[in-house]
Structure 1
Amino acid sequence: MSGKRWGAVVAAGAVAVGLAVAGSPAQAHGGGGGETRTVGYYTQWSHKDRGIPVRYIVDNGTAARLTHVNYAFGLLDERGGCVSSDPVADYQRLIPAHESVNGKADKPGQPLAGNLNQLKQLKQKFPKLRVYISLGGWIGSTYFSNAALTQQSRAAHVKSCIDLWLKGNLPGAPAGAAKGVFDGIDLDWEWPATEGNVGNVVRPEDKVNFTALLREYRVQLDRQGHKDHKRYDLTAFLPANREALDRGFEVTEVFRLLTFATVQGYDYHGAWEKTANQQSALRVPDGDPTTPKDSGEIVVDAYLDRGAPRDKITLGVPYYGRGWTGLPNANNGLFQQSTGPAPGTYEAGYDDYRILKALLTSGKSKLYRDNKAGHAWLFDGTTFWTYDDPTELTRKGRYIKDRKLGGAMIWSLDGDTPQGELIRALSTGLHRR
């Protein structure tokens, strides 16, 4: 079971490339207060590969309903330093007026362009919105272990990330060109002490080093915040897999140091398995043949049992589906054996909700739902897609509210429709009276 998997290709060669913590509890940095968060990931490749500019989430009503945006992803080089994997997308590409948040075209020679300038415009339009740079991801976690290995490497890593993303000193751009874009840093190390993507550097001491890395972040973020007269937040994406959780994270201390955590609420099953199954159900469906069982409720309970505070658990929800094909026409496809992943627009076995919806509206697939377990799927007699539609996202919003969790996290914002069907449904559940 993995973390976020996606089909984007990192630009060629890019991957190669004092305050006391005790005096700075994360609660002093927005960890408590009862806020219901709605956190959305906007990806570096949303515009370039999918044709979804930042403006899309303004026009479909998403941005007005978000509390946080995580921009994914910044990468680490082999020594653990922070780098941009695609400078053109991040801060060089000139955005035309019709795709720009403020409706004005970028001009050659301006200090900041690309996605970062659009996020800056987004914050100007929605002043309460907080934007974080997210580091790592499934294919970007190769060198986190190197960064966290020693006190010296941790200090150097954090300094480089603050310099690049918070001070905004981008290579080839004027000094401080991106300052003010980001309000914090989100760590997406998949996973400490546990192999994630092939080729990741993994060490047994990653568990304690991850905690030490958070402490170093908190010290340097507080120091920079004091200089800038603002609060910088620190968050992390954490796994659903309990083995990876126990092997890689000192849960109580990790949550103490974080402003909040986003917890994996999807990818419980996918086409890396032969059996068609749910990928994001709230509860385990009857007849599920897999071991161990996985569901949103199981994952949330696992974190609570390990000492995570409710109001810092922000449960992930998917704006995409997982698919299989070559299934027999039995049990509406659920728990049947496939011949492989379903064809997808961007990646085999993966497609966005806005694309999968067309299978239903065109009549090519039929919708099935398990109201007890809380999941939906599409099946056409041979191809099966598990996904969250507006009904399931309203249900999840209500679950988060009823259990007094910290909120919901969305992977990823480019999966919604131009009408914003998913964000409206999720907000309905989160904010019901």
Structure 2
Amino acid sequence: MKRSRLRAWAAALAGALALAPLTVLAPPASAAPGDLTVTYSVGDTWTTGWSGQLTITNTSSAPVSAWRIVIQTGSGAGIGSLWNATLSSSGSVHTITPPSWGATVPAGGTYGIGFNGTRTTSTSSTALTSCTVDGLPCDGSGGPQDTQAPSVPTGVTAGTPTSTTVPLSWQASSDNVAVAGYEIVSGGQVVRNVVGTATSGTAGGLQPDTAYTFTVRAYDAAGNRSAASAPVQVRTAAEGGGPGPSEDQRVVGYFTQWGVYDRNYLVNNMVTSGSAERLTHINYAFANISPQGTCFQVNQAGQGDAWADYGRSYTAAQSVDGVGDTWDQALRGNFNQLRELKERYPHLRVNLSIGGWTWSRYLSDAALTPQSRERMVSSCIDMFLRGNLPVIDGAGGPGSAAGVFDGIDLDWEWPASAGADGNIIRPEDRENYTALVAEFRRQLDALSAETGEDYELTAFVPADPEKVELGFEVPELMENFDFITVQGYDYHGGWESRTYHQSNLVLDPDDPGPSLFSGEIAVDAYVDRGADPADLVLGVPFYSRGWTGVPAGPDGDGLFQTATGPAPGRYEPGINDWDVIAAQAGGFTLHRDNTLGTAWLYNGSTFWTYDDAVSMRQKTDWAQRQGMGGVMIWSLDGDDAGGTLIRAIDDALAD
């Protein structure tokens, strides 16, 4: 098994700076002197680099389409890559101009430019030694540099902490020009940078049951900082710290692209429910493969949803960082929110899932030849890991999604076996799947050598031993996967006439068959073929499957009885999210089999195979007893607002 090293992101986030001019250039006709200001802020830092942001603000009453920023980095530092603009560097001097597709700064609005900085040592400065926009100081003074610092923030208070986060709020500072943002400081390090006028922010990436002291300081566009506020002392909660970035206790959650619609499950719900601090991985579902065998956002048939991915604007209340999107951001939507989530929870890895039940149709074609495999893999890596999204309705562009995704999760359902209607299936899919995985690993390793980052490769694989035998060369595959998640659900459902368990850990001795499935059978299908249990993650369902017209049967519980059809579901017949079923459970009798790790609800006519907090803990405990590498959740939007199910998983892992 090829293992990747989880990045040890530094907790410190540097402040915002915009310093004295380097050179003077004539401003373009479309911008008067002082119309534009530029604020520089730093996001994540690591040993060999950091992520930076330049925010152009246009204070005039007319849009500005021509601008020129010149910055200078300090000794041992440079700029490696940049998005939303064009970069020209000469030594430590970097000239930034609009991209080829244009970048107008709207009247009274802003435009953001992101970049990844490089440094020779972890102590090399992330500060800029100078910054000019159209030849004038970036602070907009138009003359001598502003040297007056904002006033000290007052009224700093802490909200209710979690085991890894502390929310803070304060009263606004004042400045002779304008306050550009605030820094939350702990232990001499900036742990949260709040750009703009917001007077609240959350310090993340903290340790459970640990005392912290926080102060807040304000800064302006010229880089002047106030003195620190009065300190606030807080102890993080002891409960629910989560497994953190551990390779032997992974908690993988699928975030569905479409969950932002009827379910109204946003990325920020992972924060408010406490899920984000309990996850180690998020798989974003799904990327689609075109008939030409490449990753795409929207094809000629209108498939894909670029608006949900990176076009939708979120308000401050909806956003992870508490700052609303602007119409001219190149990256909005789920992708931008995931980027903000990673800034808040540095241990999280986010992987892009390809395929799924509906979008595996053309994977057989894409895996057919060495040329088609190279074409598919390079297109997916370029679009999602390099972040070169196509421009759709003003969003996207080269590098716009850089840093959002940390790897690829391959969800081909299923090589050489039937999946969704219309899927292309070939007997040679088995060998071609192995070759496709090897091509992903080859290109991911090449990208790692280029960027210094570690990129994961994982997969979702079936529970049916017959499908495993037909489609998966297990020993060869495990050489290239970091881990795989084994389907632990959908063993039975409303497509069958008889009620069953959908996620039983072992076989029920009374199961009449003919289709006999269990978690044990699924896991053994891989272990018996050479997989290490530690490299397997058990899938668990945050939803229920149900039937209606179910007689009571000899035990009066409706189990193993012939139904008239699937039960009514909110989104489709025979299926409901756990939070929907939990809200209705009062009208049912709860039954449980602790050996099988299952529960079910029955009211005399409707039967739901059911997973609650108790069975989630039983499944997690069982996976640990088998020596497995954690659990995977399909899908996070099925949990309730308090994160009841993921908390049960977290509690079991903590024992």
Same fold, TM-score > 0.5, yes or no: yes
Q: Are the equivalent residues in 2 in contact too, given 1:401–1:431 (CA < 8 A)?
A: no
Number of residue equivalences: 405
Report the CA distance between 1:35 and its aligned residue.
2.4
Per the alignment, residue 82 of structure 1 pairs with 295
How many Å separate the matches in 2 of 1:301 and 1:151?
A: 32
Cα–Cα, structure 1 residues 148 and 29, in superposed 2: closer, same or farther, change >3 Å?
A: farther
Alignment pair present for 1:350 and 2:575:
yes
Structure 1 residues 145-224: aligned runs within 5 Å = 145-172=364-391, 173-224=396-447
391, 398, 405: which one aligns with 2:614:
391
Q: Deviations over 1:207-226 (max 9, x none)?
A: 00000001100110011111
How many Å separate the matches in 2 of 1:431 and 1:349?
A: 34
How many Å separate the matches in 1 of 2:5 and 2:373?
A: 21
Corresponding letter in the other structure for 1:356 = I
Structure 1 residues 10-409: aligned runs within 5 Å = 26-28=2-4, 34-84=247-297, 85-172=304-391, 173-330=396-553, 331=555, 332-360=557-585, 363-409=586-632
Report the CA distance between 1:391 and its aligned residue.
0.2
Q: Are the equivalent residues in 1 in contact too, given 2:468–2:525 (CA < 8 A)?
A: no
Corresponding letter in the other structure for 1:333 = G
How many Å separate the matches in 1 of 2:263 and 2:294?
A: 29
How many Å separate the matches in 2 of 1:80 and 1:339?
A: 41
Per the alignment, residue 20 of structure 2 pairs with none
Per the alignment, residue 81 of structure 2 pairs with none
Of Structure 1 and Structure 2, which has the larger fraction of its residues in strand?
2
Alignment partner of 1:344: what SS? coil
Report the CA distance between 1:255 and its aligned residue.
1.4
Give the fraction of aligned pairs with identical amino acids, expressed as a percent: 50
How many Å separate the matches in 2 of 1:379 and 1:358?
A: 14
Q: Are the equivalent residues in 1 in contact too, given 2:246–2:280 (CA < 8 A)?
A: no
Report the CA distance between 1:33 and its aligned residue.
7.5
Aligned Cα RMSD in Å? 1.3
Alignment partner of 1:45: what SS? helix
How many Å separate the matches in 2 of 1:379 and 1:411?
A: 23
Corresponding letter in the other structure for 2:584 = L
Unaligned runs of 5+ residues in structure 2 are 7-244, 298-303
Per the alignment, residue 18 of structure 1 pairs with none
Cα–Cα, structure 1 residues 421 and 33, in superposed 2: closer, same or farther, change >3 Å?
A: closer
Report the CA distance between 1:83 and its aligned residue.
1.2
Report the CA distance between 1:69 and its aligned residue.
0.2
Q: Are the equivalent residues in 1 in contact too, given 2:498–2:562 (CA < 8 A)?
A: yes
Report the CA distance between 1:49 and its aligned residue.
2.8
How many Å separate the matches in 2 of 1:315 and 1:392?
A: 14
Alignment partner of 1:237: what SS? strand
Report the CA distance between 1:98 and its aligned residue.
1.5
Q: Are the equivalent residues in 1 in contact too, given 2:535–2:628 (CA < 8 A)?
A: yes
Report the CA distance between 1:201 and its aligned residue.
0.7
Corresponding letter in the other structure for 1:44 = Q
Corresponding letter in the other structure for 1:389 = D
Report the CA distance between 1:174 and its aligned residue.
2.4
TM-score w.r.t. the length of structure 1 is: 0.92
Report the CA distance between 1:39 and its aligned residue.
0.2
Alignment partner of 1:98: what SS? coil
Cα–Cα, structure 1 residues 33 and 125, in superposed 2: closer, same or farther, change >3 Å?
A: closer
Corresponding letter in the other structure for 2:488 = G
Corresponding letter in the other structure for 2:295 = C
Alignment partner of 2:340: what SS? helix
Q: After alignment, is 209-218 or 280-289 more displaced?
A: 280-289
Corresponding letter in the other structure for 2:580 = I
Q: Deviations over 1:19-71 (max 9, x none)?
A: xxxxxx613556x9852100000000111231110111111111000000000
How many Å separate the matches in 1 of 2:507 and 2:597?
A: 9
Corresponding letter in the other structure for 1:428 = D
How many Å separate the matches in 1 of 2:397 and 2:497?
A: 51
Q: After alignment, is 288-297 or 372-381 more displaced?
A: 288-297
Of Structure 1 and Structure 2, which has the larger fraction of its residues in helix?
1
Alignment partner of 2:321: what SS? coil
Q: Deviations over 1:374-397 (max 9, x none)?
A: 200011100000021000001111
Q: Are the equivalent residues in 2 in contact too, given 1:401–1:429 (CA < 8 A)?
A: no
Corresponding letter in the other structure for 1:309 = D
How many Å separate the matches in 2 of 1:63 and 1:157?
A: 31
How many Å separate the matches in 1 of 2:605 and 2:412?
A: 36
Q: After alignment, is 177-186 or 323-332 more displaced?
A: 323-332
How many Å separate the matches in 2 of 1:417 and 1:364?
A: 19
Corresponding letter in the other structure for 1:26 = K
Corresponding letter in the other structure for 2:432 = N
Q: After alignment, is 251-260 or 177-186 more displaced?
A: 251-260
Identify which of structures 1 and 2 has the higher relative contact order when contacts are C-alpha pairs closer than 8 Å and 6+ apart. Answer: 1
Alignment partner of 1:257: what SS? coil
How many Å separate the matches in 1 of 2:335 and 2:567?
A: 34
Q: Are the equivalent residues in 2 in contact too, given 1:400–1:430 (CA < 8 A)?
A: no
How many Å separate the matches in 2 of 1:34 and 1:165?
A: 24
Report the CA distance between 1:344 and its aligned residue.
0.4
Alignment partner of 1:247: what SS? helix
Moved over 3 A (4+): none
Corresponding letter in the other structure for 2:321 = N
How many Å separate the matches in 1 of 2:572 and 2:296?
A: 26
Corresponding letter in the other structure for 2:571 = Y
TM-score w.r.t. the length of structure 2 is: 0.61
Q: After alignment, is 400-409 or 178-187 more displaced?
A: 400-409
Q: Deviations over 1:62-113 (max 9, x none)?
A: 1000000000000000011001210000000001121111111111001200
How many Å separate the matches in 2 of 1:422 and 1:72?
A: 20
Report the CA distance between 1:372 and its aligned residue.
2.0
Q: Are the equivalent residues in 1 in contact too, given 2:594–2:618 (CA < 8 A)?
A: no
How many Å separate the matches in 1 of 2:528 and 2:381?
A: 34
Q: Are the equivalent residues in 1 in contact too, given 2:4–2:455 (CA < 8 A)?
A: no
Q: Deviations over 1:341-397 (max 9, x none)?
A: 00001110010000000121xx21111101122200011100000021000001111
How many Å separate the matches in 1 of 2:625 and 2:559?
A: 28
How many Å separate the matches in 2 of 1:226 and 1:372?
A: 48
Report the CA distance between 1:292 and its aligned residue.
3.8
Alignment partner of 2:640: what SS? coil
Corresponding letter in the other structure for 1:325 = T
How many Å separate the matches in 1 of 2:588 and 2:584?
A: 5
Corresponding letter in the other structure for 2:639 = D
Report the CA distance between 1:337 and its aligned residue.
0.3
Q: Are the equivalent residues in 1 in contact too, given 2:429–2:471 (CA < 8 A)?
A: yes
Cα–Cα, structure 1 residues 415 and 33, in superposed 2: closer, same or farther, change >3 Å?
A: closer
